[in-house]
């Protein structure tokens, strides 16, 4: 019988975190990605946008949303320890020479954002005059999470005579930590931050290309 004890050192306050909020203002995106001419062409058409042109806005907003992401770079450490046991006379007894323990440190990158293909836009004519652009956004998700395998370090390792670690053990350990960190990341308000970042970026873009006197913007 194999009893497995896994201890995680997961303190995100101590992680080396780099948060990059891309496209806080659409002007930054334009300069960074060399699409100035695209924005100029779109702006020239924006004054003529009608309720039948929702597809035009959707395509453009989706391009913005693909850039409006939030990235997290973290450093993590974990301890894994286990020992083989045997049941004797109704009691669990440790088998000498089978204790294994390792301390591992690694880095990883998580990308948060929204699925741009799920964005929908409707342009509505208002009774009091003018038009309202109604934007529906999907919820933010973890778009990718990769462990930097080049950063993996085994800081300490203890093996028994009859129990040694191998590459498979390390791989399983990192896979388990990968899933665990995904769960932790979802509880640290990162998804809410990514959602707000995407909404702000889209709002600034629409304000840039649409006539303020004609269009209002609502997220529904």
Tell me what pLDDT residue 137 has: 96
Give the contacts of 51 (CB within 8 A, at least 6 positions apart).
123, 124, 125, 131
pLDDT band at 216 (very low <50, low <70, confident <90, very high): very high
- Among residues 10, 150, 12, which one has the least CA distance to residue 72? 12
Render pLDDT for 158-192 as a digit per residue (tens, 0 to 9). Answer: 766 655 656 778 888 899 999 999 888 887 788 99
| The pLDDT of residue 16 is above 60 | no
Tell me what pLDDT residue 219 has: 96
Cα-based torsion angle of the residue sequence 188, 190, 191, 194 in order, rounded to the nearest 10 degrees: 160
Render pLDDT for 114-159 as a digit per residue (tens, 0 to 9). Answer: 999 999 999 998 988 889 999 999 999 999 999 999 999 988 877 6
Residue with token string 């990718």: 144
Render pLDDT for 46-72 as a digit per residue (tens, 0 to 9). Answer: 444 555 567 888 888 999 998 888 999
């Amino acid at each position: 019988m194999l009893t497995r004890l896994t201890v995680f050192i997961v303190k995100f306050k101590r992680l080396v975190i780099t948060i990059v909020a891309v496209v806080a203002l659409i002007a930054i995106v334009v300069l960074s990605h060399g699409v100035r001419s695209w924005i100029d062409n779109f702006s020239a058409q924006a004054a003529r946008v009608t309720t039948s042109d929702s597809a035009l806005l959707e395509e453009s907003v989706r391009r913005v949303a693909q850039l409006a992401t939030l990235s997290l770079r973290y450093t993590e450490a974990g301890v894994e320890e286990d020992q083989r046991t045997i049941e004797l006379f109704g009691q669990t007894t440790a088998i000498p020479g089978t204790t294994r323990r390792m301390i591992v440190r690694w880095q990883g990158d998580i990308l948060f954002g929204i699925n741009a293909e799920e964005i929908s836009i409707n342009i509505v004519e208002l009774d009091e005059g003018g038009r309202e652009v109604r934007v529906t956004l999907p919820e933010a998700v973890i778009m990718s999470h990769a462990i930097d395998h080049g950063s993996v370090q085994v800081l300490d390792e203890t093996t028994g005579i009859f129990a040694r670690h191998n590459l498979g053990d390390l791989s399983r350990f990192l896979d388990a930590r990968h899933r665990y960190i995904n769960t932790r990341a979802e509880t640290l308000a990162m998804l809410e931050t990514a959602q707000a970042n995407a909404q702000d970026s889209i709002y600034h873009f629409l304000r840039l290309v649409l006539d303020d006197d004609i269009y209002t913007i609502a997220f529904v």
